Amino acid sequence: MTSRLNPYINFAGNARDAMEFYRTVFGGALTLNTYGEYGSPDAPEADKIMHGMLESDSGLTLMGADTPPGMAHNPGDNITVSLSGDDGDDLRGYWAKLAEGGTVSVPLEKQMWGDEYGMCVDKFGIPWMVNIGETPA
């Protein structure tokens, strides 16, 4: 079981271009999922990136997405620290400590894509996302 810590960048509608650019910089495998894949395929933002992940051959991980509809995009405030993996016990423990004294915007719970996920801002004003994937069989 593993956990990883990496930056997560929100973009103003150009996440696909940005993540493809970063792939030319760092190399590796790029996975992009759209809002349409997890919601209404006919929605205006259906082709926008809900989640992107670049994993380089040298072990670097960069995640990114288009800012969700209805949320402000503020350059400079658009980077979050992401904790993800399949070690649920460790990740839930990190979540509890990060959320304590902070503000939870998305409770850590099962999401439409099947993982447990939550968002919070810790007591120092740092935004965090925690995603617990299912443990591989």
Dump pLDDT digits (tens) for 28-78: 999 999 999 987 788 888 999 999 999 988 788 999 999 987 888 887 778
CA dihedral 91, 98, 121, 119 (to 10 degrees): 20
Domain that holds residue 112: 3-68+77-132
Give per-residue pLDDT as tens, 1-21. Answer: 678 889 999 999 999 999 998
Would 15 be classed as within a structural domain? yes
Q: Which amino acid is at 49?
A: I
Q: Residue 18 is part of a domain; what is its CATH number? A: 3.10.180.10
Given the structure tokens 């299912």, which residue do they identify? 134
From its phi and psi, is residue 121 left (phi > 0), alpha (psi between -120 and 50) or beta? beta
Q: Is residue 137 part of a domain?
A: no
Number of structural domains (the chain) is: 1
Cβ-Cβ contacts under 8 Å for 30 (sequence gap 6 or more): 19, 20, 23, 52, 53, 54
- CA-to-CA distance for 64 and 112, rounded, in angstroms? 19
Model pTM score:
0.71
